Amino acid sequence: MSEPNHREMHAEHKNWNAEHVHWLEDLDRWTKEHAQARESLTWIVEHLGDHEKNLTGHREAMVAHEQGLAHHEHAMKECDGHHSPAVVESHERSRQTHEAQKLFHDKLKAQHEAVIKKIEELRALIASCCESGKDE
């Protein structure tokens, strides 16, 4: 390969400069987008706390339901197979409570799995950017 002449080198420098201008514009835009991303991550952390409250509330509701079931079981034993209308009504309320808790649990599970999957994907992506992001 022959050595470039003065005009070719100057043209190449001019092309590099034009690329650098675009790269600097990209970096300015990306810096702003990173600031917005940090704000989004702060919002996400705050709202993950709300999700944790839902998990805690769901746990407490299940414990209360279990306690109600224990009381219902005790009432059934005392009936000796002849259930009073109150016991039958209590059982129906327990069934409705259980169904509502099941629906809520399934919803929480789907949300939880989707959020955790996205967070893990984001974590892996950011980790790969950090590893390969060294300036050449």
Domain ranges of the chain: 6-132
Q: Which of 17-21, 64-68, 71-75, 93-97 has the highest mean pLDDT?
A: 17-21
pLDDT of 136 above 60 = no
pLDDT of 135 > 70? The answer is no
State residue 3's pLDDT score. 81
- Residue 83 has what DSSP assignment? -
One-letter amino acid of 53: K
Question: pTM here?
Answer: 0.73
pLDDT of residue 133: 59
Q: How far apart (Å, rounded) are the C-alpha atoms in residues 43 and 82?
A: 56
Residue matched to tokens 């893990």: 120
The Cα–Cα gap between 24 and 29 comes to 9
